[in-house]
Structure 1
C-alpha cells in the first residue's frame, strides 16, 4: 500500500511542477515616458491620413498576449478616446516586399510592410480604459506631420509640445499567441479632438523595464510613406534613437517538456488510483 501512496505523491509532484498560467503577468515593459519625444500614432479628426509609430520588443518564449498599456499625450483639455487599434509586425523583411522601394534611407531593422495580427476596439476585439494625468506634461520634441520620403527625410522635428498625459490600458477579447521572437508593437488611438502622440521611453531600457538585445528603435510612417518606415531619432530628428513607452501582459506558454511531465503525472495518478481501487 505504501508503494502506491508514494507513487501518488511522485505523480502529483510531477503535475505540480508545471507552472500555472498566471493571468496578466508582466511579459515586457519599456518603462515610463522620459519627456524627450512625442510621435503621432493615430488619425487627426477630419484628416484621412493615418500616422503610425511602432517600437520593438522581444519574447524569450512563446506567450499569450492578453493586453497591456501605453502612454501618450493628448491636447490640453482632455480629448476623449473614441477608438483603439493594436497591431503587431515582424521585423523586415518578413511580411514585406524585398527589395524595398528605396524611398527611405534604410529598411534594415524596421517593422514589416504589413502587420500580421491586429485587434480593434471598433470590432469588439479589445476593450480599453484611458486615464488622464492632472498636470500638463511637456515633451522636448515631436514628429506629427513631418514624415517625408527621400530627399526630405530630415526635418529636425516639430519642436516641443505640451499636453495631458493619457495612459491607455487595453485587454484583448481573445489572447494573441506569439512564438518566441522579435516583434514590433503599434498602438493607434482615435481622439475626439487632436492627434494622439505616443511618448518616448528611456533608451537603453532601465529598471523596472525589461532590457533586451538588440533593442532597436521607434519607427514612424503615414499613409503617404507606407509601406515604408522612417527612424524617428536617426532619420527625422538626428538626435538619437528613441524607444516608446508601453508594456505587455499575459502568460508564457509551457514548454513541450513541461506538458509531457504534466501528462505523465496525471497518467501516473490515474494508474495509481485504479490500482488502489482494484486492491480494495
Structure 2
C-alpha cells in the first residue's frame, strides 16, 4: 500500500531526508560538493528582477555523456529575519556556462594566446573562468515554467539535514555582497566580511521534457540566480548568499581539474573574477567551491514521492511537469500519468496543491 501523508510538506520532508542522508540508491546524486564550510557567502541574482542589477556566481563540475539531470539543490543564506514562507516565492534561474574560451570573444585578450592567461582591461586572467555567454539550451527558470523550486531550512548541527517549517542561523566568515566586485585595479578587497542569516537549501525540479541531458563529456560552471521577493510594502529585504563548500572536495566526488568559484556583475561583464584569488586575495589566497548537487532524471521530486493521498479529496494524478501533483475534485480522467496536463472527469478544473 502506498504511504499516506497528512500534507504535501510531510511527503516532501521524507524525500528530502532521503536526499540528505543518501538512504536510497535511487536518490544518490550524480555530483555533489557536500555541505557548507562557513568560509564565504556570495550574492548571485538575476538581472532586472525587483529593479536590481545582475550578479552571477558559478562553480564547476564535469558532465558525462548520457547523463540526464532533472533535480538540483543549492544552499545559502537568507537575509536576517527573512521568513521561510516568503522565500517560497523567489524567482530562480539556473544556467550552465562552458569553460573559457568556449562561447567567448577571445579578441578581448591582451596577450597573444587566449588559451593561456588572457588578461583583459577588466581582469588579470580569463584562464579557467566561465565563458562570456551561457549555453542557452540549459537555461531553466521558475518564470517560464521549466523549473519548480521549494525552499527548506537546514540544520547545521545535524549535517545540514532539513527542518520542518523552521530555520536556523548560520555564520559565514566572509562574503561578497552587491557592490563587492571590481576591476583588477581595485582588487583584492579582502571581501565584505562576515555575515549571519537563516541557512536554507533550494530543491529545484525541472519540468518534464526539460532535463539537462549531456551528449558528451564536458566541463561546465553551474550558475544559480535567486531573486527574493519584496516585502508587503514593496521594500527590498536583501539578497540570497550562496555558501561555499570545501576545496578540495572531501565527500567522494573529487575530480580534476576542480576549478575555483568565480563571480561577476555589470562592472566587469563579460569577464569574471576568482572569488578567492582575485576578490579576497592574500598570500596564499583562499580558493572556494560552492554548495550544490545534481540528481539524475527519475529522482522523485517534492510531492512525487508516492501516489498516496496528498489531496484533501479526489484521486491524485500528475501533470507534464512530473513533480507537481494535481488534485481533481472527483476523479482524474483515465490515463494517469497523462502525456500533458491532466483533465478531471466531468470537466472539473484540476488543482495544484
Alignment of 1:52-201 (within 5 A): 52-79=56-83, 80-81=86-87, 82-100=90-108, 101-116=120-135, 117-133=138-154, 134-144=167-177, 145-173=179-207, 174-178=210-214, 179-192=216-229, 193-201=237-245
SS of aligned partner of 1:124: coil
Greater strand proportion:
1
SS of aligned partner of 2:242: strand
C-alpha contact 1:29 1:247 (8 A) present in aligned 2: yes
Partner residue of 2:327? none
Aligned length: 230
C-alpha contact 2:244 2:290 (8 A) present in aligned 1: yes
Offset from partner CA, 1:137-195 (integer Å, 9 cap, x none): 11000001210112112111000000010100001112111222111000011102211
Offset from partner CA, 1:79-111 (integer Å, 9 cap, x none): 433211100010000000003343101000000
- Counterpart among 18, 38, 41 of residue 38 in structure 1: 41
CA distance in 1, matches of 2:269, 2:127: 16
Higher relative contact order (CA 8 A, sep 6+): 1
Offset at residue 40 of structure 1 (A): 0.5
Q: What is the TM-score of this pair, normalised by structure 1? A: 0.78
Q: Unmatched 5+ residue regions in structure 1?
A: 1-21, 253-280
RMSD of equivalent CA atoms: 1.9
Offset from partner CA, 1:51-90 (integer Å, 9 cap, x none): 1100000124331111110001111222433211100010
SS of aligned partner of 1:235: helix
C-alpha contact 2:70 2:296 (8 A) present in aligned 1: yes
Offset at residue 237 of structure 1 (A): 0.2
- Counterpart among 204, 213, 220 of residue 248 in structure 2: 204
C-alpha contact 2:211 2:297 (8 A) present in aligned 1: no
Q: What is the TM-score of this pair, normalised by structure 2? A: 0.62
CA distance in 1, matches of 2:250, 2:255: 10
Q: Unmatched 5+ residue regions in structure 2?
A: 1-24, 109-119, 155-166, 230-236, 299-353
C-alpha contact 2:153 2:168 (8 A) present in aligned 1: no
Offset at residue 251 of structure 1 (A): 4.9
Greater helix proportion:
1
C-alpha contact 1:36 1:141 (8 A) present in aligned 2: yes
- Counterpart among 280, 292, 307 of residue 246 in structure 1: 292
Runs of 4+ in structure 1 off by over 4 angstroms are 22-25, 43-47
